[in-house]
Structure formats: C-alpha cells, structure tokens
C-alpha cells in the first residue's frame, strides 16, 4: 500500500513540476515577444532577462524531478 502511494506521489511531483513551469514559460515568452515588438531597441535587454527567467523556471522542473527520484528510491 505505501509503495503505491509513494509511486503516486512521485508521479504527481513530476506532473506538477512540469506543467506549472511550462505554462509560466509560455506566458513569459509571449510577454517578452510582445515587448520586443513594441520596443525593438531594447530587444537585447529583454532577451537576456528572458533567458535568466526561463532558467529559473526550469530549475523548478529539475527540483520536481529530484523529489521524484528521491521518492522512487524509497520503494
């Protein structure tokens, strides 16, 4: 019984940690592209800020994967 719950928890950790950042990355990229379209002169600054923001969001996915691996290790 507990092995099944741990497996479900690992699956939820992966699912939530990939869906939420993916949606956030989409919104962020959309906003950045709209900003570049409005202010082409500041494209370099917006692009560098976008890359940093996307990297931080991707770190959340990696943390979720780490938690899932830790949970699978308990099975």
Q: What is the CATH number of the domain that holds 27?
A: 1.20.20.10
Which tokens sit at 68?
Answer: 């899932």
pLDDT > 90: percent of the chain: 59
pLDDT of residue 38: 94
Identify the CA nearest to 14 among candidates 53, 54, 60, 75.
60
8 A C-beta contact, residue 8 and residue 66: no
Residue 2: pLDDT over 80: yes
Q: How confident is the model at residue 71 (pLDDT cuts 50, 70, 90)?
A: confident
- Print the domain residue range for 6: 2-73
First to last CA, the chain: 11
Instruction: Look at the chain and report how many structural domains it folds into.
Output: 1
Query: Distance between CA atoms of 64 and 72, rounded to whole angstroms?
Result: 12
């Amino acid at each position: 019984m507990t092995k099944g719950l741990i497996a479900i928890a690992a699956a939820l950790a992966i699912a939530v940690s990939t869906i939420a950042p993916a949606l956030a990355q989409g919104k962020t990229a959309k906003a950045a592209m709209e900003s570049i379209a409005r202010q082409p002169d500041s494209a370099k600054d917006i692009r560098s800020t976008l890359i940093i923001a996307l990297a931080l969001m991707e770190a959340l996915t990696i943390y979720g994967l780490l938690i899932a691996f830790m949970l699978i290790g308990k099975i």
